[in-house]
């Protein structure tokens, strides 16, 4: 019985060592796979960033000028476009009355703007000073004060 118990312990020890070796190998594979996938992700992100920047630069450089776009338009195209748009929008837009010679109110000048901004602050300051003056008890002159030494009770 004693020999078989030692034999079982030895087999258990070998099995544990074999399992530890297998776990160490698996952990090494996982770590190397994580590094590999991290590098792949970094390369993909960098490629997308470079591609996006290249696309933006391309669009900026190849954007047609307003003059070129207007040169491509013809009067017939513009008339067709305006007729089509006016036909679509006639029922949707409300009637508008435009007054050309209507008088606009006079805009205040620089001095008037400054006065309008400073007047509330000045009024608040003056009213606060007056309220403090009224609420403060009157001062007594030192000359009128009796110079008696205060007595302890």
Residues of the chain with pLDDT under 70: 1-3, 91, 93, 98, 100, 102-104, 140-153
**What residue spans define the domains of the chain?**
1-63
**Contacts of residue 108, Cβ cutoff 8 Å, sequence gap at least 6:** 116
pLDDT of res. 152:
67
Its pTM stands at 0.31
Contact 116, 108 (CB under 8 A): yes
pLDDT of res. 150:
62
How far from each other are the two terminal CA atoms of the chain, in whole angstroms? 106
Task: Return the residue matching tokens 């997308």.
Answer: 48
pLDDT of res. 35:
82
């Amino acid at each position: 019985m004693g020999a078989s118990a030692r034999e079982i312990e030895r087999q258990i020890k070998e099995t544990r060592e074999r399992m530890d070796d297998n776990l160490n190998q698996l952990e090494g594979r996982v770590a190397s796979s994580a590094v590999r996938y991290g590098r792949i992700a970094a390369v993909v992100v960098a490629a997308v960033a470079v591609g996006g920047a290249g696309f933006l630069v391309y669009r900026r450089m190849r954007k047609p000028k307003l003059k070129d776009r207007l040169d491509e338009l013809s009067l017939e195209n513009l008339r067709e476009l305006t007729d089509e748009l006016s036909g679509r929008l006639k029922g949707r837009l409300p009637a508008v009355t435009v007054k050309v010679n209507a008088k606009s109110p006079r805009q205040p000048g620089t001095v008037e703007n400054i006065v309008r901004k400073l007047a509330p602050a000045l009024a608040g300051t003056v009213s606060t000073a007056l309220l403090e003056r009224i609420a403060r008890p009157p001062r007594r002159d030192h000359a009128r004060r009796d110079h008696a030494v205060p007595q302890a009770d």
